[in-house]
Amino acid sequence: MKNTFVIILFSGLSFFSCQQQKIVAPPAPILPVPTPTQIAWQEMEFYAFAHFNMNTFSNMEWGFGDEKPAQFNPTALDCRQWARVAKEAGMTGIILTAKHHDGFCLWPSKYTEHSVKNSPWKNGKGDLVKDLAEACKEYGLKMGMYYSPWDRNHAAYGKPEYITYMRNQLKEVLGNYGEFFEVWFDGANGGTGYYGGANEERKVDKKTYYDMQNTYPIIRELQPNAMIFSDAGPDIRWVGNEHGYAFETMWSNLLRDSVYAGMLEYSEKYAPGQEFGTHWVPGEADVSIRPGWYYHEYEDHKVRSLPELLDMYYNSIGRNTTFLLNFPIDKRGLIHENDVAKLQQLTAKIKEDFAQELAKGSKATATNVRGIGFEATHAIDGQKETYWATEDGQKTAAITIELKESTTFNRFLVQEYIALGQRVKAFSLEAKTDKGWQEIATATTIGYKRILRLPETTATAIRLIIKDAKASPTISNIELYHAPKLVVPPTISRNKEGMVTMEVPEEGIAIHYTLDGSQPSLQSTKYNQPFSQISPAVIQAIAVAENKQSEVSRTEMDISSAKWQVVGIDEKAEKVIDGKEHSSWSAVGNKKGNEIIIDLGESLTLKGFRYLPMQDRWFSGLIKDYAFYTSLDNKNWHLAKKGEFANIFNNPIWQSVTFKPQTARFIKLKALTTVDDKPATFAEIGVLTE
């Protein structure tokens, strides 16, 4: 302990202020701690996955390995487009699926014939890894590589000699294309495959077969700054799901020696990390912008919504992980325009949410301060290498930030100085409102970054209370923001009883609608609660908040199914008229085969019908050729229309068919063929009377 003398000058006058203050060393690290490379990786935060390989052309997610190189033939491949899209979105890198489970290599590997060198693309002279490396360099992005240890093509897979092959390929791709920031190993290993024509199942010991302890040094030598990803790390771990969500409590610490790639209990038992984990292995949250990881034309209409993507952002980066967002590159070799548009919406909203930091320039005090250099002000100084810390043994404390003026906010961002380890176990946030101090949030871990979405709050001060920590807390950054409301077109749905519901992702957003197809405005009817709409209507609606107005949401509804009943089938078949697009019924076991009969409950003049195929990610039984019948008595049937739902496999959306008007009480839709020759499936059936 030393005495510090401070000289303060005021308008030419001076006096001495003798104040005893403590000059102390930084807190001791709480093991485990990250390496500088791990910290640099975590600061990348948001980067892209590019799934593009043989599966793109075989319309598969996991290829069997028997595909021919001739199938790989993109028509307009442009890695610069990928890099440009990622850069403009604020992403920091791109990870490429250089080899997936089918074994096809996107570089001209000299160790296999199953690569681009035997494809028609660029007459066999192409090298996609090289093209992307050059594009990333041009746009200032980092590049990563996905390499599947499983190889369903290679004849030696499952045998010792395959490990030599794998290591040769890793040396080849890691040693010739510049620096990689991440090497990504999949946890799927062993199973059925082509295996050079053996066409059999091969199982491997996932713990020992790849001998990763002797493979990792190869990567370290060739790519010393690359992070290695797998379920078990050693540098980064899988978050345990493919939804883009981390856990509410998320430790960067992991009991690494207890984990191996592909273990069944990993997601539940190990994915959240452990408070007393032995190694620093932070999480990475991966998700695709579509249901599938690879491109399928039938998912062009299934790009994730802006509210979904925004939730993923807050529940990944905002929960102590990075956010790896996948783009299924299409058959042209481009990020599809639908995906680009949605990404642009996401990044625009992120920029809007974090446009103005509100705590900057405020006054900060704390209930406990370690000493000089660790004052509360370091939590709001914008410098990542400074931090507020408490005295040793002081695991609970509070930091108060007095705002410059009464401030409205709904986002709170806090970061630990993770170079000394992850410490905070529980915290709460209070706000000083016109009603005094009020608790507005509680949470558990912080780690590299925690972002809380809060109710809109107006306060003159906020207080972060550390309720529990492993050791002296080290808080490096606190920020406040006021994110504008997410104003997107309302979703409109109607249930079987004819009740119409409109929804928006946030509270405090008004919805105005019309029922006659006219343009809605602020003067249109305001939606307050579900309402009955039995008769046909064209509903158009807008969402309005904070002087912003969404695009128009439009839904065409014919007569509701309130009076309808499915005839001669068990109650499960009622799913086809329940108004829920993601429920479905299959004709498996149906005595009458691939058909369904519906009693409309009254005689109607029909002008057509509608059919929605199954909407699940893994669908089957989509009707290709159909026959639609009408009847007044369920005995005498009239063929109203026979035809084909063209391209329904690639475009599985509502199908509308018109015919000459006719009166009917009963309708029957019969599948003459399905796209996969499996029993027909039905998500919804409707009629056209207007």
- Residue 438's CATH number: 2.60.120.260
Given a contact cutoff of 8 angstroms between Cβ atoms, the answer to whether 233 and 264 are in contact is no
In a domain, residue 589? The reply is: yes
Return the structure tokens found at 251: 């430790």
Residue whose token pair is 């080290």: 474
What pLDDT does residue 616 have?
Answer: 87
**pLDDT score for 22:** 66
**pTM value?**
0.91
Domain match, 628 and 680 both: yes
**pLDDT at res. 8:** 36
Q: For 119-153, b where at least 16 C-beta lie within 10 A, e where not — what string?
A: bebeeeebbbbbbbbbbbeebebbbbbbbbbbbbb
Q: Per the domain annotation, does 228 fall within a domain?
A: yes
Indicate if 89 and 211 belong to the same structural domain: yes
539 plus 570 within the same structural domain? no
CA nearest neighbour of 244 among 144, 316, 347, 335: 316
DSSP of 103-126: --BSS--TT-SSBGGGSSGGGGT-
* One domain, residues 458 and 498: no
Classified as helix, coil or strand, 480 is strand
Chain position carrying tokens 């029922």: 515
- Residue 358 falls within a domain, yes or no? no
Picking from 112, 553, 124, 485, the residue whose alpha carbon sits closest to that of residue 310 is 485
Q: Give pLDDT, residue 19.
A: 41
| Residue 15 confidence (pLDDT) | 32
Is the same domain home to 117 and 247?
A: yes
Q: Are residues 628 and 508 in the same domain?
A: no
What's the pLDDT tens digit per position in 133-188?
Answer: 999 999 999 999 999 999 999 999 999 999 999 999 999 999 999 999 999 999 88
Is 683 part of any domain? yes
Counting beta carbons within 10 angstroms of the beta carbon of residue 536, is it exposed (0 to 12), middle (13 to 18) or buried (19 or more)? middle
617 strand-pairing partners = none
**One-letter-per-residue 3-state SS of 635-679:** CCEEEEEEEECCCCCCCCCCEEEEEEEEEEEEEEEEEEEECCCCC
Which residues of the chain are modeled with pLDDT < 70? 1-22
Whether residue 396 sits in one domain with residue 347: no
Whether 13 is in a domain gets the answer no
Query: What is the predicted pLDDT for the residue at 17?
Result: 33
Final residue belonging to a domain, choices 353, 375, 398: 353
What residue has token string 């856990």? 247
Sign of CA dihedral 388, 391, 397, 402: negative
Any domain includes 12 = no
Integer Cα distance of 689 and 610 in angstroms: 11
**Residue 572 belongs to domain spanning:** 565-688
Alpha helix (H) ranges present in 24-127? 36-42, 54-58, 79-88
Residues 462 and 570 occupy one common structural domain: no
SS3 422: coil
Structural domain contains residue 33: no
Same domain? For 534 and 516 the reply is yes
Q: What is the pLDDT of residue 592?
A: 83
The answer on 275 and 128 residing in a single domain is yes
CATH number of the domain enclosing 304:
3.20.20.80
Is the peptide bond prior to 32 cis by the omega test (within 30 degrees of 0)? Answer: yes
Number of domains into which the chain is organized: 4
DSSP 243-297: SS---SS--SEE-GGG--TT-TTHHHHTTT--TT-SEE--EEEEEESSSSSS--G
Are 80 and 175 members of one domain? yes
Does residue 20 sit within a domain?
Answer: no
Residue 21: the pLDDT is 55
**φ, ψ for residue 341 (rounded to 5)?**
-60, -40
Q: Are residues 551 and 591 in the same domain?
A: no
User: In this structure, what CATH number is given to the domain that contains residue 521?
Assistant: 2.60.40
The pLDDT value given to residue 590:
87
Quote the tokens at residue 144. 């990563």
Last residue of a domain, one of 515, 533, 557: 557
- Name the 3-class secondary structure at 132: helix
Last residue of a domain, one of 518, 534, 557: 557
Q: What is the pLDDT of residue 187?
A: 87
pLDDT value for 269: 92
| Secondary structure element (H or E) that encloses residue 341, with its range | helix 337-353
